[in-house]
Amino acid sequence: MALFEDLTLGAVTSTVLSGVRVVVAAPLVLQVDGAVVRPVVRLAAQGGILAYYATAALVTTVGTELDKMVADVWAQTTSTPVPDSASRLMCSEGMAA
C-alpha cells in the first residue's frame, strides 16, 4: 500500500483514487453479482417456504394421528372392565385407599 501512496502523492489522493475505483467498478460488479446471487437467494427462499409448509403439514398430521390414538386407547380403557386379580395388583396392601 505504501508504494501506491507514493505513486499517487500521498494518503488523500490514494483514498480518493480508491473511492473512484469503487464507484467505477461497482456497477459492473453488482450486475454480475445480481445476476448470480439473486437466483440463488430466490431458490433458498423458496426452499425455506417449502420446508415450512412441509413441516406444518407433518405437525398437523402427527397431531391428528395422536388424537386418534388417544381416543382409541381411551375408548378401550373405559369399555374394558378390570378383572379382580388385576385390581388387587394395582392396589398394594401397604397403600391407603
Q: Quick: pLDDT tens for 5-32.
A: 555 555 666 677 777 777 777 777 777 6
* Position 57 in a domain: yes
DSSP 8-class letter at 8: T
Place of cell 396392601: 93
In a domain, residue 94? The reply is no
Q: Is residue 41 part of a domain?
A: yes
pLDDT tens per residue across span 27-78: 777 776 777 778 888 899 999 999 999 999 999 999 999 999 998 888 888 7
Task: Output the pLDDT for position 4.
Answer: 55
pLDDT of residue 93: 54
Q: Which residues of 22-47 are buried (b: 16+ CB within 10 A; e: fewer)?
A: eeeeeeeeeeeeeeeeeeeeeeeeee
Q: Is residue 44 included in any domain, yes or no?
A: yes
Whether residue 6 is contained in a domain is answered as: yes
In which domain, by residue range, is 25 found?
2-67
Query: Is residue 85 domain-resident?
Result: no
* Total number of domains constituting the chain: 1
